[in-house]
Amino acid sequence: MQILKKTTLTQYLIEERRRYPDADGQFNALILDVALACKAISAAVAQGELANLHGNYQEGDGESINIQGETQKKLDVLSNDYFIQMNEWGGNLAGMASEEMEAPYQIPKHYPKGKYLLVFDPLDGSSNIDVNVSIGSIFSILRQKNPAKDQVCDEDFFQPGNEQVAAGYALYGPTTMLVLSVGQGVVGFTLDRVLGEFMLTHEKITINPDTQEFAINASNSRFWEPPIKRYIAECLEGETGPRGKNFNMRWIASMVAEAHRILMRGGVFMYPRDNKDPSKAGKLRLLYEACPIGFLIEQAGGRISTGRAPLLEIQPDNLHQRIGVILGSKNEVERIEAYHQEDLNEETDASPLFGNKGLFRE
Ligand code: P6P
């Protein structure tokens, strides 16, 4: 008699590891430590105000502001602590980097070091905590390319998204799910709270290349660049416009929840570069939001772009750099990229320097 109807995360990882006979087990151990941190966060999120965990983190006599310039929530700080505590001791990591910490985290000298780097947003979508809307944790695993180093530095983390070894997120929603890719497609696990185990419930997640659903913060529309304005206007024209079909809109203000919806039923999510704050290349962070989520999206057959370039090819140059993000159903993202290219061509053609007057001004 089969007692457990489903595969546990541990079993999935061990079966995947058999592809790599030389594997030393550090990778699997790391994923399980990350999963433990997510279980702890899930329990804290579920307790919420019962455990006095809503509201802003108080440091000294005031509120705490993180490197992003954002007020930290109590659960932001607790989630970051869980990620550090569950992962610093295992001997799998050379160092860590987090949305909540300005500098990389050095593994304490009394713990062994390993060959991986862990980058994470411990709790994304924090504005939803106090209103009981889904939030999530995002993580990315890179190789430490300079293993002889005693300390990690920012530059160790400056790796394009297509060099990630693995990426995933935990979604704290009606159920807690762990969605993961180790480079062999995307799988989903649902937390069985009786067993305390993530159970494999989604064996092969793929994204429909087409969609009729888009997600964008429409309150920023006056700041959008022309290609985005064009795309959204066509969606809103529905079946009477050039798209010939009606669209629906969603905005949860939680990237993990939006990404999960897209992985489940297709769609496109945009937080594009806009003119709201020209000093910022976008709102979302490259290393611990866009890259890990984008890795999953592309492993599931979707696409992630800045609008002007494939996002996973971007070479990072700052731990907390921001970037414009367009991701989801492949055909839709490619359409938006085409609009950006057409806009660039029009700008070039219209340019007095390179216009129809030839290469040089008369
Ligand atoms: P806005 C959450 O703070 C986040 O980083 C993403 O998870 C989310 O998609 C976006 O910002 C929400 O931004 O402008 O709607 O608050």
pLDDT digits (tens, 9 = 90+) for 245-280: 999 999 999 999 999 999 999 999 999 999 999 888
The whole-model pTM stands at 0.94
274 pocket-lining for ligand 1 (C-beta < 6 Å): no
Residue with the smallest CA separation from ligand 1 atom 12 is 253
What ligand 1 atom has the least distance to the C-alpha of 256? 7
* Cα–Cα distance for residue pair 304/123, rounded to 1 Å: 22
What ligand 1 atom has the least distance to the C-alpha of 253? 12
Confidence (pLDDT) at 63: 81
CA neighbours closer than 13 Å in the CB half-sphere of residue 296: 31
Distance 128 CA to ligand 1 centre (A): 10
Taking the chain (362 residues) in consecutive chunks of 10 residues, what is each chunk's mean pLDDT? Answer: 81 90 90 98 97 90 80 94 98 97 98 97 96 98 94 98 98 98 96 96 97 98 98 98 98 98 98 93 96 98 98 98 98 98 87 58 41
128 pocket-lining for ligand 1 (C-beta < 6 Å): no
216 pocket-lining for ligand 1 (C-beta < 6 Å): no
Distance 253 CA to ligand 1 centre (A): 5
Residue 180 burial by CB count (10 A; 0-12/13-18/19+): exposed, middle or buried?
buried
Confidence (pLDDT) at 247: 98
Confidence (pLDDT) at 361: 43
Confidence (pLDDT) at 34: 98
Name the nearest CA neighbour of 182 among 296, 304, 29.
296
Distance 254 CA to ligand 1 centre (A): 6
Would you say 23 and 92 are in contact if contact means Cβ atoms under 8 Å apart? no
* Cα–Cα distance for residue pair 199/192, rounded to 1 Å: 7
Residue with the smallest CA separation from ligand 1 atom 9 is 255
Would you say 276 and 267 are in contact if contact means Cβ atoms under 8 Å apart? no
Confidence (pLDDT) at 349: 81
What ligand 1 atom has the least distance to the C-alpha of 285? 5
Q: To test the ligand 1 pocket, which listed residue (217, 252, 283, 288) has its Cβ within 8 A of the most ligand atoms?
A: 283
Confidence (pLDDT) at 37: 98
Distance 298 CA to ligand 1 centre (A): 21
